[in-house]
Amino acid sequence: MSPSPESGSPAPTPPAPAALSADDVAKVARLAQLNPAPAQAAAYAHQLSAVLEYVQKLRSMDLTNVEPMTSPLDMESRLDADEPGPTLDRDEFLRAAPDHWNEFVRVPRVIE
Amino acid sequence: MSDTQMLNMSAVEMARAVRDRSLSARKLAEAALNRAETVGRSLNAVTQVLADSALASADAVDFAVSRGEDPGPLAGVPMVLKDNICTREGYTTCGCRFLERYRSPFDATCVERLRGAGAVIIAKANLDEFAMGGSGENSAFGATRNPWDVSRVPGGSSSGSAACVAAGIAPIALGSDTGGSIRQPAGFCGITGLKPTYGRVSRWGLVAFASSLDQLGPLARNAQDAAVALSVISGEDPRDSTCARVAREDFADAITRADRDNQPRIIGVARQGRGSGNHPSVNLAIEQAMALYRDAGFELVDVDLHAGDEAIAAYYIIAAAEASSNLARFDGVRYGRRAELSPGEGLSDLYTRSRTEGFGPEVQRRIMLGTYVLSSGYYDAYYNTALKARRVIKNAFDAIFARGCRAVLLPSSPGPAFKLGEKNNDPLAMYLEDIYTVSVNLAGLPAITIPAGIASVEGKDLPVGVQLIGPALSEASLLRLASVFESRSSFHLRRPPG
């Protein structure tokens, strides 16, 4: 059988940067709202670089004219009828919150 | 009957005994709870034992039976749930410090359905944090041990679910499978593990890891018990928009009526699963499985999945990308652990500190990998490329099934259970262990792990599993094939020492 019906000319290759520096990790950590300690960040840089190096194997696949596949289901939008139904109790949700005041979840001051 | 004899019964036998009143659900629950407290704790396979609610459920089952009512196909059957499945009882920790004291305000759909079928939930099972891991070592509550050899891992991420079933604590457990997390630990622990078709089982109440890959399924000691559990938990659910709109099936009935099997009798043997990289016991198990099916009248043909290493590469990009998005909700605001702030720190510090303190290293690694591959400039190169590879991988399966193959035979892992600590300092080495399982999730297909061999390693017997992968919604066919295997072998009857 053929590898895929979509086979054609060579696929565009991923770019070269398959290694992360400590600065890259710091930037990604900021985007992800994480703040690893320096030693930990250095370990992450090393480990994630190994993973990024490995994923370059995708270059060996011919992906020309292949449509990206985001889900195994052929998704159609499924909409509920616009009818009110039972919901969970607000107090139960508030009990799960680390801090609340009356019916509000409380967080530190956002605007000075 | 002794506790051990009782707990060695299959779930089907237990339910039958409870329904005909030859065994009380309470007695069964007490035996299971006791074993969870002793053996379950010593293997670190459980995060919590739910004694009070289990005994109340068991009493309700006994009461229903005494009134002549039928509690359902799982009447009085003790069950264990992976601790990323939301339950009103106890905590839903996900093996994470962040959710150590998180109480879900609702039961997952699968939990409602299990209770509705008479099941008695006795414990929540340990797991790799947020189901991210292949060894059970990434839990914030410590590693689970393999009941066959406590110096080895039970596999992951459904580590506690597999260990509990293998150790005779409960005949069935539920797990989740994003890249092999039901099938690989089932193989390491010598039990049956079924990853259903994407969309077969509602995920409402399963804490999300990678939404286009996650699926709930049963781990059991035989195909029949797995079939009963799947019949109960599957089916459409308006609360999960990714749940397939297909009629519920009686999978247990499909096994019993195996003589009416009119499915094709061709099994594909994946070339990619027969490498020199496998432990010899794995290659032997594949050879023996081929011989077994040939003797049972099946034709075996060589098939090519067209991806091995590439599947791992695509999987880790997609899974990490989806995880980084799903786990953004854990910010210390609405639920979970909130970090203590110093004077002058604000909302942004609250997010960052809560997440840094709350997530373990593997979860942080995957969030950062996912954030990186989705970040501006790299999205197309990594994420979009992986999504294209995903379609090629799915097309290869489709072509195999279109050729008339009923299922594809593949190992469930390259070797039997490895030692605790052997791989957990090298994330990439750990990821490569998933080589035989991830493509199934990428394609959204059902697959079942069957106990298919015993390896003798350093003087210990270790189970070896093989997988059968089928086309979408072919669970009944896979369960029948597993049942054929059981009728011609005895590996599913082997139990770990103790």
**pLDDT over 90 (residue B264):** no
Question: How confident is the prediction for chain B on average, in pLDDT?
Answer: 96
Percentage of chain A modeled with pLDDT above 90: 56
Is residue A61 within 8 angstroms of chain B, CB to CB?
A: yes
pLDDT of residue B245: 87
CATH 3.90.1300.10 placement within chain B: 3-261+447-493
pLDDT of residue B163: 98
pLDDT of residue A7: 41
The enclosing H or E element of A28 equals helix A22-31
Mean pLDDT of B426-444: 95
Of A29, A33, A60, the CB nearest to B310: A60
Q: Which A-chain residues 64-83 have CB contacts (< 8 A) with chain B? A: 66-73, 75, 78, 80
pLDDT of residue B498: 77
* Residue of B479, B420, B422, B469 whose CA lies nearest to B446: B469
| Domain covering B3-261+447-493, topology | Amidase signature (AS) enzymes (3.90.1300)
Q: Is B279 helix (H, G, I), strand (E, B) or coil?
A: coil
pLDDT in tens, B35-65: 999 999 999 999 999 999 999 999 999 999 9
Is residue B350 within 8 angstroms of chain A, CB to CB?
A: yes
| Sheet of B447-457, strands arranged across | B46-49, B120-125, B78-82, B172-176, B216-220, B192-195, B447-457, B460-469, B407-411, B266-270, B299-303
pLDDT of residue A27: 95
Residue numbers of B annotated as active site: 82, 157, 181
Q: Where do we find the tokens 């195994």?
A: A72
Is residue A55 within 8 angstroms of chain B, CB to CB?
A: yes
pLDDT in tens, B267-286: 999 999 998 899 999 999 99
pLDDT in tens, B222-250: 999 999 999 999 999 989 989 988 888 99
pLDDT in tens, B187-208: 999 999 999 999 999 999 999 9
pLDDT of residue A17: 61
pLDDT in tens, A36-81: 999 999 999 999 999 999 999 999 999 999 999 999 886 666 777 8
Q: Which B-chain residues 469-488 have CB contacts (< 8 A) with chain A? A: 472
Contact residues for B479 (Cβ-Cβ < 8 A; gap 6+): B194, B223, B226, B227, B230, B251, B254, B255, B448
Full set of structural domains in chain A with CATH: 15-67 (1.10.20)
Mean pLDDT of B453-470: 97
Report how far apart the first and last C-alpha atoms of chain B are (Å, whole number): 18
Q: How many CB pairs under 8 A join A and B?
A: 189
Q: Which amino acid is at B470?
A: G
CA distance B248 to B432: 36
Q: Where do we find the tokens 């247990």?
A: B252
- Greater pLDDT, A17 or A11: A17
Is residue B417 within 8 angstroms of chain A, CB to CB?
A: no
Least-confidence region, from B163-167, B260-264, B325-329? B260-264
Exposed e or buried b per residue across B16-28, where buried means at least 16 C-beta atoms within 10 angstroms of its C-beta: ebbbeeebbbbbb
What pTM did the predictor assign? 0.95
> Cα–Cα distances in Å, from B107 out to B92, B110, B131?
10, 8, 19
**pLDDT over 70 (residue B296):** yes
**pLDDT over 60 (residue B149):** yes
**pLDDT over 80 (residue A3):** no
pLDDT of residue A6: 42
Is the Cβ pair B341, A89 closer than 8 Å? Answer: no
How many degrees, rounded to 5, is the angle at CA B175 between CA B241 and CA B303? 85
Mean pLDDT of B146-171: 98
**pLDDT over 50 (residue B410):** yes
Is residue B355 within 8 angstroms of chain A, CB to CB?
A: yes
Contact residues for B269 (Cβ-Cβ < 8 A; gap 6+): B286, B290, B300, B301, B302, B303, B408, B409
CA distance B14 to B118: 11
The secondary structure of B394-453 as a DSSP string is HHHHHHHHHTT-SEEEEESSSSSPPBTTSSTT-HHHHHHTTTTTHHHHHHT--EEEEEEE
